[in-house]
Copies of this chain bind each other. A is one copy, B any other.
Amino acid sequence: MPDNTAVFDLLAGVRIVDFTQFEAGPSSTEALAWLGAEVVKIENPKMGDPGRRLRPGQPDNDPYYFHVFNANKKSITLNLKSPRGLALVKDMLRRADVCVENYAPGTIERLGLGYDVVRDLNPRIIYAQVKGFGEGSPFEHNLAFDMIAQACGGTFSVTGAPDGPPTRPGISLGDTGTGMLMAITILGALRKRDATGQGSRLQVAMQDAIMHYMRINFATQGLTGKPAQRGGDKVPGVNNAPMGLYPCKPGGPNDYVYLMTSRANPDHWDRLLKLIGREDLIGDALYATPADRVEREPEVDAVIAAWTRHHTKHEAMRLIGDAGIPAGAVLDTMELQNDPSFEQRGIMQVMHHKVHGDFKMPGWPVRVDGKPSRIAPSPVLGEHTDDVLGTWLGLSEADIASLRRDGAL
C-alpha cells in the first residue's frame, strides 16, 4: 500500500505543557499534536494519567482508551508535589507556548500553578482550562463527567424515542466536543500571541460547550416556542417524509438504512417510487407533497420498508444513493473497522505500540494536501523524560539522575 499519510508540520515548533487527563483535555492537546505541535504530558510518577488505568488497582490491560486520546504525544514523569519537580515544570512553562489542564476544580491552584503564577512566569503563554461547569455557575465547584455534562447541557433531552425516557447519545461529546472548541481557541490565541506577544487565559466548561452542539435544537425551539423534543430516528421540527430508518435484511440490530428525500427536490420521491417498483404511486394526490406524506407517514414508511426488507443495508445504501437520493447504512464499529476503504484512505490507521501491540483506530480525519496526519504511538509513562528535560531545559544525564534520586521524577 502506498504511504497514504504524512507527518504534519502545521504547528512545527509549538511547545505544549499538557496537564490533562481522561478525555476532554487530552482530546484537545492530541488534535494539536496531530497538527505537529510538541505535546508533553506531565504525569505523576506512580500511575500517570488516570486514563491509562481505568480500573483502579488493576494492571494496565485496557490501554485503548489511552491510545485514542494520547497518540503523537510525549510523556514525562514529574512529582509536582516535590519542590524540585515543581521548579522543573515552572522552567518548562517559561519555555512553552501553551499549557492545558482539566484537573478537578481548584487542583491546579493547590499545586501552585494557577493562572496568575504561570502568567508571571511567562506572559506570552496561552493558559487553557477545561472544567465541568463554568466560572460563576452555581455548580462551579462540582465534579463532572461526560454524562453529567451531556445531561445538564441538553443532549439527553433530545435523544431517544418520542414517548420514551431521555437517552444518552452514545458518543462522548461532553468530552471530545469540548476539547475541540478549546483547540480552536488555543490556535486563535496563539495567532494573537504571535502578532502581539501577549498571552491569554482560556476557560471552557463542558456544560456550556454542549450547548454549542445543541444549536439546531435551540433554533427549533425558537420556531415552536416549546422545548426541543426527542424524535427517535426522525428529526423533530423537520416536516418532511419520507425520512428515517428503514429495516433491512437479515434483520440484525443494526440492519437499517437511513434515507431522506429533500423538501427542496420533489424528484426524490418520484425517483424513490421508481426504484422500489411503486411507479403506481407516482402522481398519486394522496402523497403528492411533503406535507401529504407527513400526514400519511406510517403508510409511506410501510411502502418503503416493504422494499428495504428485501435488501441488505449495504445494497440499499448503494441502490438508493445511485438513484440520487441521500441514503446511508447504519454501520457499527466493527463494520467501520473492517471496511478497507478507511485504512486505504488513511482515515483509520494502525498504531504500533511497543508494549500493547497493534491497534487500529481513527486518526485526525482532515487531509492536508491530500493526506491525513500519521498516527504515532501513545507514550509509555515517562518515555520522554530524559529527552524533554534535555532538549527543553538542557539538563544532563547526571542532573536527571539526581532528580530521580530525589523523587522529583
A residues with a Cβ closer than 8 A to B are 8-12, 14, 23, 31-32, 35-36, 50, 54-56, 62, 64-65, 67-69, 134-139, 142-145, 147-149, 151-161, 164-173, 176-177, 180-185, 187-192, 194-195, 200-205, 207-209, 211-223, 226-228, 230-235, 243, 245, 253-254, 256-258, 260, 263-264, 317, 321, 324, 326-337, 341-342, 344-345, 347-348, 359, 361-362, 364-370
Contact = CB atoms under 8 A, between A and B. Distances in A.
Contacts of A243: 147
Tell me the dominant secondary structure on chain A's binding face. mixed
Contacts of A370: 135, 201, 203
Contacts of A14: 191
Q: How many copies of the chain does the oligomer comprise?
A: 2
A171 B177 CA distance: 12
Contact of A258 (B50, B136, B148): B148
Contact of A154 (B135, B214, B336): B336
Contacts of A11: 188, 191-192
Contacts of A152: 317, 328-331
Contacts of A212: 176, 362, 364-365
Nearest to A187: B187
Nearest to A325: B143
A191 B12 CA distance: 9
Contact of A362 (B23, B165, B215): B215
A337 to B, nearest CB: 7
